[in-house]
Structure 1
């Protein structure tokens, strides 16, 4: 099985836009669910709805892959799973190191989706000497002193940083110097990397803040949409002219 250090995905050389690359995992997730239900074909409309995009955008994205579907039949699910997996480089074995084995790092280590998606956790690394040798998800934690040799020995090109913010840049620098060219950053800080190194940032607090913004806006819209009650009628004083047809004063007078 090929490793991540010797093979890289072909998306850039084929000129696939970054926005399309970002949507490919969404399509793959939807297609995998269809495959698990033994669905043989899917229309662009059905797949777009499952992936949360519009069908015109999906067809444009698939045109970059050279996949156009069959009119009246749709797309072959198994073939698309293979095609997208190949474009994303998931038909290879990508060894990954996770640095920072606190609560988040341990949760990532225990995540079962890595192996089924082409990623192998090659090592868990932490700066705490007390963690060294302790198994997490069946993998013994190694000290950061061994970081460079671990990357070299395992041919690692993808690193995951789950350290506190203050340690993240130093860890990043060491990963890059050791040969890592792609980093998934969970630390709440912005990393500086040289050209040729890709960084994807996952900040849960930012995502929650964005959701809070939308909740606040929805609450404001609901408050604006609430109907305003009409003011109560104020009765005016009755006069001699305010009499009914028989000369009596009506019990209720219009305002």
Structure 2
């Protein structure tokens, strides 16, 4: 999805939509400090973005602030919350109640942001009937019925990679139109269904890239160990240690050259 829009407003770029929750978090931090108005520079600093980008993003909401004064913190919170749909109560389903599913179900921060965990599902029949965060875990076979009964349109996938696509298909068939996928695999959904992906391993790999670049030339990053089994040998610059580890046949002894006197002792037949 490239952009979103509200009646009477221009379409909002997807990149801007992704930054709105960041601005909202920064504004709530400022509100907790007792800040009533904030300049674009100060808000950008708290949010960790460029002030020019922030001003452009907020202009899509019709909010330009007041010259010399800045933005009204409370009203800007209202504007962003309204645009993000946080003035509504959103019931959310979690599919996959393993360690991650448990953690998500028990997280208390969703409620204050307008999201209510309303249903938990798992394919393991041994978990059915157990309670997590006050909710009964249902078997996935009940998914269609419960989704329809509770009017759930947002769901979280927290299952192993091999099961993620089939779970997504079942959610779409049940009427879910927004999915947050935590499974480390590619999931496809039809047009009209919004899909967001959270892959912690990818984020860690990006951090590892930057950590490696911070290290001095030829030096291992602090705490990192070489894992040879994780990488293939470089075909251009092979690992010298690997070459030395190869089994070599012992060299054959050199052929001894006989002296002239020894040759003279040999009599012809």
TM-score exceeds 0.5: yes
Q: Deviations over 1:136-168 (max 9, x none)?
A: 111111111100011100111111000000111
Q: Report whether the alignment pairs 1:19 with 2:19.
A: no
Counterpart pick for 1:35 among 31, 34, 57: 31
Q: Secondary structure at the match of 2:189?
A: coil
Q: Secondary structure at the match of 2:93?
A: strand
Where in structure 1 are there 5+ consecutive unaligned residues?
Answer: 1-7, 224-255
Q: Give 1:55-204 correspondences, 5 Å limit.
A: 55-204=51-200
Q: Separation in 2 of the partners of 1:86 and 1:60?
A: 18
TM-superposed CA distance for 1:11, in Å, is 8.6
Equivalent residues of 2:22, 2:47 under 8 A apart:
yes
Of structures 1 and 2, the one with the larger relative CO (CA 8 A, separation 6+) is 1
TM-superposed CA distance for 1:10, in Å, is 3.0
Q: Separation in 2 of the partners of 1:94 and 1:11?
A: 21
Q: Separation in 2 of the partners of 1:23 and 1:172?
A: 26
TM-superposed CA distance for 1:133, in Å, is 1.2
Q: Separation in 2 of the partners of 1:177 and 1:27?
A: 34
Equivalent residues of 1:181, 1:198 under 8 A apart:
yes
Runs of 4+ in 1 over 2 A off after TM superposition: 8-14, 220-223
TM-superposed CA distance for 1:222, in Å, is 9.2
Q: Separation in 1 of the partners of 2:170 and 2:52?
A: 43
Give the structure-1-normalised TM-score. Answer: 0.82
Equivalent residues of 2:5, 2:11 under 8 A apart:
no
Give the structure-2-normalised TM-score. Answer: 0.77
TM-superposed CA distance for 1:13, in Å, is 6.7
Q: Separation in 2 of the partners of 1:118 and 1:46?
A: 26
CA pair 72-35 structure 1, distance change in 2 beyond 3 A: same
Counterpart pick for 1:211 among 199, 203, 207: 207
Q: Secondary structure at the match of 1:187?
A: coil
How many residues get paired?
216
CA pair 48-222 structure 1, distance change in 2 beyond 3 A: farther
Q: Secondary structure at the match of 1:147?
A: helix
Q: CA RMSD in A?
A: 1.8
Where in structure 2 are there 5+ consecutive unaligned residues?
Answer: 220-269
TM-superposed CA distance for 1:14, in Å, is 3.5
